[in-house]
Structures are given as structure tokens and as C-alpha cells.
Amino acid sequence: MAAPTPEVAAGLAKAKAHTARAHLFLCLGPECAPLEQGAQVWDYLKRRVSELGLEVMRTKAQCLRVCADGPWLVVYPDGLWYGGVTVERCERILREHIQEGRPVVEWIAAQNPLKSGISHCAPPPNLQP
């Protein structure tokens, strides 16, 4: 595997690709919720992740294919799906689930954790964690 360019290395560091403990995916809508609502939650999520110093990656999505009762937030590797995420719910999820390791059970709609140690491919040689 070739060494990444300085630009790619900087981008991977900024994304916390090698240090993140979790990956948060937020569906912004428009099918599950108005885009304005999804954007408001996204802006809050970005700000609070930074303020709290959380070691997580975050990705905004246009659609997670659950086209009702959004915005949807999926937390991996736990595979927990939270629906109807508001700014207030986002705060509680960040504090209780991400910081303290206690999922907010009453808002979980589904769970499908990634299988630990299972990969569909062999790791590339010289991959630096």
C-alpha cells in the first residue's frame, strides 16, 4: 500500500479515521424529515462533538432508507438506530451513549452491531492503525 499524500494524511487525521471509537451517521432527510430539521441536528452534532472532544467520526447522509420518523442517527460499531433525533435527543445520545457508554434505550428502533473481528477481505500490508 502506497503512503498517502500529505493532503490525504491530513484529511484522514481530521476525520479521525485511525483514532475514532465510533462512527455516527445522520440522515438529513428529505424523505424522513424536513431538510431544515436534519441540517439543524447536523450542525448541532458537529459543534457538540468538537466541544466535548469526542473521538468519533461523523458522516451526514441524504438517505438511510428509513423514510419516516427521522432524522435518523446510526451509531457504529454498536449498530444502534435512533429515530426522531432532535437537538435535545442528540445531546442526550452524545452524553449518555457516546461519552458514558449507556445507549438511550427508549429511543432505539433497531440494532445490528458490526461483527467484531470479521472482515470480508484480508488487511492490506503495511496498514498503519
Tell me the Ramachandran region of residue 65: left when phi exceeds 0, alpha when psi lies from -120 to 50, beta otherwise: left
What domains sit in the chain, N to C, each tagged with a CATH number? 21-111 (3.40.30.10)
Asked whether the predicted pLDDT for residue 92 surpasses 90, the reply is: yes
Distance CA 114, CA 118 (A): 8
The per-residue pLDDT for range 43-91, each reduced to its tens digit, is 999 999 999 999 999 999 999 999 999 999 999 999 999 999 999 999 9
- Contact between 63 and 31 under an 8 Å Cβ cutoff? The reply is yes
User: Rounded to an integer, what is the distance from CA 16 to the centroid of its chain?
Assistant: 12
**DSSP letters for 15-32:** TTTTT-SEEEEEE--SSS
Return the pLDDT at 122: 52
Q: What confidence score (pLDDT) does residue 65 get?
A: 93
Give this prediction's pTM: 0.84
Could you tell me which of 39, 22, 41, 21 has the C-alpha nearest to residue 30?
A: 39
Q: How far is CA 108 from CA 19, 48, 84, 95, 125, in A?
A: 26, 21, 10, 15, 38
Mean pLDDT (the chain) is 89
d(C-alpha 32, C-alpha 49), whole Å: 23
pLDDT bucket at 21, cuts 50 / 70 / 90:
very high
